[in-house]
Amino acid sequence: MILPCPSCAQSNRVPAARLGDKAKCAACKAPLLPVAHPVAIGSAEEFDELVRNAKAPVLVDFWAAWCGPCRAVAPELAKVAGQRAGSVIVAKVDTEALPAVASRFGIKSIPTMILFRGGEEARRLTGAMPAQAILSELSL
């Protein structure tokens, strides 16, 4: 996973299995973890690594830039990431950039959010909703 430093914006590589550990930025030494913001997924391999190896549950938002409801739910997912930093990882998969990943999970409408626990799909939500509804529906 490539994580930007919240202090200096330097890109840092952190293995998905270590996202629950402590890590510091290679450039400025500021803490990188816990991840308190949604993480953009850049490839199918990165997606697979995260879902398979993350110790915490992973909430994946399948979205597209042209989708109005996706843009509406983005700040709500940022709230979820901030409120549950360290206990859940929020990731974003752009369905236009990674159509094979979206197809693998049968994504037919967006936004769709899938919660993965231990590498397996545990729960699925479709549609824009506030952060509290997402947390409640997913039992986070």
- Gap between the Cα atoms of 12 and 46, Å rounded: 14
Q: Which residues carry out catalysis?
A: 67, 70
Taking Cα atoms as reference points, which of 36, 47, 61 lies closest to residue 1? 47
Evaluate the CA torsion angle 52, 138, 41, 108 in order and state its sign: positive
